[in-house]
Amino acid sequence: MYTINSAGWLNPAAKHPSPNFNDRPVLGDISLLVIHNISLPAGQFGGRHVHELFTNCLDCNTHPSFDDLQGLKVSSHLFIDRRGGVSQFVSFADRAWHAGVSQFAGRENCNDFSIGIELEGCDDIPYTYAQYRELIALSHTLRRAYPAITPERIVGHNDIAPGRKTDPGAAFDWTYYKNALE
């Protein structure tokens, strides 16, 4: 069972505060949940590289594919690893930098009004049961805390940045996930 404290931090998630956030333009405006995927290096799971990226500690010399991450400042509110471990990088009260150039329902800058959840994975490898279990539990908790997040306002990164992003990808079972939210 998850709870959210008055400062916007999830209990009992592991906390890894990121410097990559800023104030939301309107605090009470949280109305979108965005599902992403990430793996560093691409297709490799485990390790600390995602945590290091979100906290600006990634040594971009450790893998050739990290070259284009040099100086990148990104974050997400939550990260769910393959075992179902949940880490939080940014308070829900703050704007994490997960969506980039984006729009939903005619509104741009989805970071302003969304919560971002990163699943450790890639577009074409099935996610684990443990990840779905935690994502479903987290989604219920977030929807209770932020009732404007309706099932129709739970989307993939690909939905808010079409042509630029593809995650969470074809391997994500939207039917299973959305049915579990009913």
Please list the active-site residues: 118
Scored b (16 or more CB within 10 A) or e, 65-92 reads: ebeeeeeeebbbbbbbbbebebbbbbbb
- Burial category of 178 from C-beta neighbours within 10 Å (exposed 0-12, middle 13-18, buried 19 and up): middle
Give the integer Cα–Cα distance in Å for 41 and 13. Answer: 24
| Residue labelled with tokens 């956030």 | 21
